[in-house]
Amino acid sequence: MIDSRPIVRVICGPTGAGKTGLATHCAQFADIAIVSADSRQVYRGFDVGTAKPTVRDRLAAPYHGLDVLEPTERASAAWWARCAGQWIEDSSASARTPLVVGGTGLYLRALFDGLFHEPPMDATRRSALAVVLAPLSVEALRRWVSQLDPPRAHLGRTQLLRAIELAVLTGHRLSDLHRDRPTMPRWRARYLVVDPGAALAGQISDRTRGMFAMGWGEEVRGLMRTVPADAPAWNASGYRTLHDMVSGLITHEVAMDRVVIETRQYAKRQRTWFRHQLAPEQVTHIDPAAGDAPERLRAWWSGGDA
């Protein structure tokens, strides 16, 4: 049976791999609108540590999905997929080709593999549970999830919190809901998975140093004046570490080392996800530093062999 659903191009891969640079390059040969698939960049004010696209990047192509939530609001894959669907339609209506760019695999799965109907959760109980879970380490959260929803125990902090609250408050496992209650997705994806290989570890170190030099600490100091410590936005990679640094609990050097380690671990989880969750026939791999990267990018865009 021929799949007649329209194709949406997706540039994805681990954090720090060079996705934004390739997306910006696409704007040189196509009229595009970029849909950000990054669960950290949705929050207003959390800019430096989430590596939001620069002014120059945003001049190359319009962006959707940046700065769309207050730090105290909660994002979910289902919410993002609904928004992304509208952004894709808006892009097409403006005669621009939509290009989804980001590293949040769960967002991509929700958009292209189908959503589920989420059981209702009591707001008061949800808030009380959030207070209990907020101070727990990622390791402690993993121990919870290994009992409540084992298939999700390898994920990052935000996804672990999501799995716990759903299991505790509704009695349903999120992994079961994804499996048993899908709705038909409207698009199919053509993926370009960006990964520079062994060079990524060094790129993450360099980018982290750059973020500190660009005033990440000052950004966090300002956010601490207005954003509650239990706001979901603080779960973005590295921000709780910077919160500790600004509070005087750890030194600048310790904070930088910790962020590098956290980010590399996050990138490792992303690599694992992209390796196992995407259908091979939908995927083209690219090293953005390779000499033939521009040609491979164009070939992928046109739908030919890369």
Q: With 0-12 CB in 10 A as exposed, 13-18 as middle and 19+ as buried, what is 123? A: exposed
pLDDT in tens, 36-90: 999 999 999 999 999 999 999 999 999 999 999 999 999 988 899 999 999 999 9
Residue-level pLDDT at 180 = 66
Given a contact cutoff of 8 angstroms between Cβ atoms, the answer to whether 110 and 69 are in contact is no
User: What is the chain's pLDDT, residue by residue, as a tens digit (306 residues)?
Assistant: 567 889 999 999 999 999 999 999 999 999 999 999 999 999 999 999 999 999 999 999 999 999 999 999 999 888 999 999 999 999 999 999 999 999 999 999 999 987 666 678 888 898 899 899 999 998 999 999 999 999 888 877 877 898 999 999 999 898 887 676 556 688 999 999 999 999 999 999 999 999 999 999 999 999 999 999 999 999 998 999 999 999 999 999 999 999 999 999 999 999 999 998 888 889 999 999 999 999 999 999 998 543
Record the tokens describing residue 103, joined without a space: 């590293």
- Whose CA is closest to 46, among 72, 20, 24, 21? 72
Terminal-residue alpha carbon distance, the chain: 25
User: Do residues 169 and 141 touch, judged by C-beta distance below 8 A?
Assistant: no
Q: What are the tens digits of pLDDT across the range 140-172?
A: 999 999 999 998 888 778 778 989 999 999 998
> Within 10 A of 202 (CB to CB), how many other CB atoms are there?
11
The SS3 of residue 200 is: helix
Q: Report which of 76, 110, 120, 121 is spatially closest to residue 183, judged by C-alpha positions.
A: 110
C-alpha distance from residue 216 to each of 120, 155, 210, 248 (Å)? 37, 25, 9, 15
What does pTM read for this prediction? 0.80
- Count of all residues that appear for the chain in the document: 306
E strands, the chain, in order: 7-12, 32-36, 63-64, 97-102, 188-194, 283-286
Count Cβ atoms below 10 Å from residue 12 Cβ, excluding itself. 26
Residue 78: partners with Cβ closer than 8 Å, 6 or more residues away: 110, 115, 116, 118
Q: Tell me how crowded residue 167 is: count the other CB atoms within 10 A of its CB.
A: 20
Which pLDDT score is estimated for 288? 96
Residue 162: per-residue pLDDT:
84
CA distance 256 to 216: 11
For residue 25, give the amino acid letter.
H
Q: Catalogue all structural domains in the chain, each as residue range(s) with its CATH number.
A: 7-115+184-302 (3.40.50.300), 118-181 (1.10.20.140)
